[in-house]
Amino acid sequence: MIMKKCIEFNGVSKKYEVGEKAFYALDDVSFSIDQHEMVVILGPSGAGKSTLLNIMGGMDHVTDGKVYMNDVDISGYSEKELTEYRAKNIGFIFQFYNILPTLTVKENVDLIRDVVKNAKDSTEILNKVGLNGQENKFPNQLSGGEQQRVSIARAIAKNPKLLLCDEPTGALDSNTGVEILKLLRECTKDNTVVIVTHNALIADVADRVIRLKNGKIIENVVNKQPKNIDEVNW
C-alpha cells in the first residue's frame, strides 16, 4: 500500500534571538508523517516539542525550511492563510481546556459545526469520551478531567486532517486516559494524530516515535507492531 504524506518538514529551523545570541528551538529538522499514522513526539523539557506542534498547527512561522501539508507548502503562508489552514485542517487538544463557561457540554462540542462542514455527531463523541448524561451541564458543574474531555470531544468532532495533542491524558486518571487513547487510535481511521507527551508508555502504542533533543531529531522510528492499548500496563 502506498502511504500518502500528511505533513512533511524539510530542513526546518526556528530561531529565537535572546539578547545578542541566537537560540535554535528547532535546528534543521526533517521528517514526514503519513496519513492515518498515530505519532508520538518525545523529548526532555525545552527540546522543541511544543515549537514543532505549533508550526505543524500553523500557529507559528519557521525561520528556515519548508513545511508541507498534503504536499502544499504552508511555510510562506500569511496570517490570514494560516487562520484558514488551521480552521480547515487542524484539531488541537491542549492541557488548557478552552471551553466556554456559558455554553452547555453539548453546545461546546456543537460549536465546531460553525467551523467545518463534516463535523462528527456530538452525542456519539460525548458518549465515547464517557460524558453521556452530562450533555446539558455547564462546565463549572464538571471536574477538571471532565472539562478536558469536553475539549477532547470537540477536537475529535471537528474531524480534522491533523489532530495535534499536547499531553492529552495529563489531567486524567489512568482508566480515562486509556479510553482517550483508544479514541485517538480510532481517529486514525479518518485522520492523522500527533501526540506530544512525557509518558514514554504511549510510544509503545504509536505507529511512529520521534524523539527530539536540543531542537534536533535524535530518533525517528516506525513501530512495526504497535502494542494494543489494552496490552500496556498503565
Ligand X SMILES: Nc1ncnc2c1ncn2[C@@H]1O[C@H](COP(=O)(O)OP(=O)(O)OP(=O)(O)O)[C@@H](O)[C@H]1O
Site residues (CB under 6 A) for ligand X? 16, 18, 23, 25, 43, 45-51
Q: Min. distance of Cβ 111 from ligand X in angstroms?
A: 27
Place of cell 475539549: 151
Residue with smaller CB distance to ligand X, 25 or 203: 25
As a whole number of angstroms, the distance between CA 78 and CA 61 comes to 9
Fill in the amino acid letter for 69.
Answer: M
Q: Which residues contact 203 (CB under 8 A, 6 or more apart)?
A: 40, 42, 209, 223
As a whole number of angstroms, the distance between CA 54 and CA 118 comes to 24
Q: Min. distance of Cβ 50 from ligand X in angstroms?
A: 3
Residue with smaller CB distance to ligand X, 131 or 203: 203
Q: Min. distance of Cβ 25 from ligand X in angstroms?
A: 3
**b/e code 3-35 from CB counts within 10 Å (16+ = b):** eeebbbbbebbbeeeeeeeeebbbbebebebbb
Place of cell 478536558: 148
Residue with smaller CB distance to ligand X, 47 or 217: 47
Q: Min. distance of Cβ 213 from ligand X in angstroms?
A: 9
Residue with smaller CB distance to ligand X, 116 or 201: 201
